[in-house]
Amino acid sequence: MVAIGTIAWLVATIVMLAAGDRWASAVPICYAGLAVGAAGFALFLVQRAAARRGSRTAQRGLS
Q: What is the pLDDT of residue 53?
A: 85
Chain segment 18-42, per-residue pLDDT in tens: 998 999 999 999 999 999 999 999 9
Strand residue runs (E) in 1-63: none
The pLDDT value given to residue 38: 94
CA proximity to 2, closest of 49, 34, 50:
34
Tell me the mean pLDDT in the region 2-25. Answer: 93
- pLDDT tens for 38-57 read 999 999 898 888 888 888 77
What pTM was estimated for this model as a whole? Answer: 0.77
Instruction: Tell me how crowded residue 27 is: count the other CB atoms within 10 A of its CB.
Output: 14
